[in-house]
Amino acid sequence: MDMKELRSMSDKVLNEELKKLREQHFDLRSQTVTEKVTDTSQFSKLRKDIARAQTELSARRIKTAKAGK
């Protein structure tokens, strides 16, 4: 997922996407306990996607706060 896709999403959809990514990350961490993870590169990809989504949400909050002043 790239920033272009995230910027085109509404706030509601972006929050839902962030929740889905966090759930995937949790599931992947749970799979490590049972040693069923075959592609460990998924961890960094998910973390980066989560960070991108959080960054976009934060930028929107800052923009809204500045517009409200």
pLDDT digits (tens, 9 = 90+) for 9-57: 999 999 999 999 999 999 999 888 888 888 889 999 999 999 999 999 9
User: In this structure, what are the phi and psi dihedrals at residue 10, rounded to the nearest 5 degrees?
Assistant: -80, 170
Joined together, the tokens standing for residue 9 give: 């999403």
Each domain of the chain, given as residue ranges in start order, spans: 3-68
Residue 34 has a pLDDT of 86
Q: Is the pLDDT of residue 69 over 80?
A: no
Q: What is the DSSP letter of 46?
A: H
Q: What is the CATH number of domain 3-68?
A: 1.10.287
Structure tokens at 18: 């962030």
Collapsing DSSP to helix, strand or coil, 9 comes out as: coil
- Entry pTM: 0.88
Measure Cα distances from 28 to 2, 56, 65 in Å.
21, 24, 35
Cα 23 to Cα 17: distance, rounded to the nearest angstrom? 10
Residue 19 structure tokens: 């929740």
